[in-house]
Amino acid sequence: MRTRSVGVFKIATTGPGDVSGLMARIGSGAIDPREILAILGKTEGNGGVNDFTREYAVSALCAALAPHLDLPPREVEQRIAFVMSGGTEGVLSPHITVFTRRAIDSPPVRPSGKRLSIGMAQTRDFLPEELGRSAQITETATAVKAAMADAGISDPADIHFVQIKCPLLTSDRVEAAAARGNKTATTSAYASMAYSRGASALGVAVALGEIAADLHDEDVLRRYDLFSSVASTSSGIELMHNVVIVLGNSAASASEFAIGHAVMNDAIDSAAVVAALQSIGLRIAPQATEGRELINVFAKAEASPDGTVRGCRHTMLEDTDISSTRHARAAVGGLIAGLAGTGAVYVSGGAEHQGPAGGGPVAVIARLSD
């Protein structure tokens, strides 16, 4: 396999339609648009079913990149994986993280150890009645393995973060299933987000051998003892298939960057965040770590389903004014921002089967000077 170089660029945005930072990087030559493989973003919507800031951001990015790729905007999504996570509550700051990849014949200086590598794959389109069920688990597992191969990573231990964008149900999609004589996992659009996220996360766990493959429909959102330690799934209205992005370290990569991770056991697990930073040689803020520069932190957050955090009752699940996912993003985002020294971190709500119940994975990418 040819050596690859992976680049990572975090760019602040002033709104979901702001592409000026990316265009400036392209104009300066820092980013070659033909090498962009994936863009992950945080947008300032509500993160719910009707959060159209995600679709708006993708539309703006596609329109801006299309001329540089000699493609119509609608075809840019077939070439680049876009994952927009809505919700920047509290101190979370809207931004995008751009991942590039290019093949090189041989690096002038081979970096020591394994370095960041990225791979992408997609599932087929799902029928509405397949969301949140075993079909989505199975298809996702297949796509994760394909993304690993695309990244040049064979050992699951080298995988530190698997980001998935997955679909949700709408009333039209529920009615379409009913017209075929089939029932969906739920008739609630909001609840379907959790079902889709959960099934997708279980697909990651199956692919990486974290759990056994013999799962059933009823395991989703019920068997919380089953989870992936590296999955991060985000549902949206803008697609009907899963987009899978695998991030890990590979000996075939000559990247300046490396990734590590840890698992938060609950929403206030600062020790796990510190462990994730330390896994790639970083300290808590202010970092000032020689030879290391923090690029971004990626984490999942959710309100503990049992209604408590370390024995103390929380009210996130009982607030009828503000969604529990918004509470969780704000709480975990604040914790991570304090330790990382920046609010421009990627914290996504809804961690069903993504880490232990009430917790979630946290991954860190850093630039290594060697």
Q: What is the pLDDT of residues 69-122, one digit of tens each?
A: 999 999 999 899 999 999 999 999 999 999 999 988 765 566 678 999 999 999
According to the model, what pLDDT value does residue 108 have?
A: 57
Lookup: tokens for 160? 């530190």
Three-class SS state of 104: strand
Across 13-157, where does the E strand assignment appear?
Answer: 36-43, 81-86, 95-104, 115-122
Catalytic residues: 165, 234
* 363, 277 contact by CB (below 8 A): no
Q: What number of other Cβ atoms are within 10 A of residue 319's Cβ?
A: 13
Distance in angstroms between the alpha carbons of the first and the last residue of the chain: 23
Q: Which CATH number applies to 256-368?
A: 3.30.1330.160
Compute the average pLDDT of residues 29-35: 98
Residue ranges of the chain assigned to CATH 3.30.1330.170: 4-104
Percent of the chain with pLDDT over 70: 98
Give one DSSP letter per residue of 3-36, joined into a string.
EEEEEEEEEE-SSTT--HHHHHHHHHTSS-GGGE
pLDDT exceeds 80 at position 216: yes
Feature table: binding site for Mg(2+): 302, 351, 354-356, 359
* pLDDT at residue 289 in the model: 76
Distance CA 16, CA 304 (A): 29
Per-residue pLDDT at 273 exceeds 70: yes
Q: Judge if pTM exceeds 0.75.
A: yes
Residue 84 vs residues 173, 238, 282, 346: alpha-carbon distances, Å: 22, 10, 27, 10
Nearest Cα to Cα of residue 197 among 174, 81, 213, 205: 205
pLDDT grade for 260, boundaries at 50, 70 and 90? very high
Per-residue pLDDT of 125-162, as tens digits, reads: 999 999 999 999 999 999 999 999 999 999 999 999 99
Residues forming CATH 3.30.1330.160 domain(s) in the chain: 256-368
Q: How far is CA 255 from CA 116, 280, 369, in A?
A: 6, 14, 11
pLDDT at residue 145 in the model: 98
| Architecture of the CATH domain 116-247 | 2-Layer Sandwich (3.30)
Residues in the annotated binding site? 54, 85-86, 197, 234-235, 302, 329, 348-349, 351, 354-356, 359
Mean pLDDT of all residues belonging to the chain = 95
CATH 3.30.1330.170 assigned to 4-104: yes
All CATH 3.30.1330.180 domain ranges of the chain, comma separated, are: 116-247
Residues 257-281 have a mean pLDDT of 97
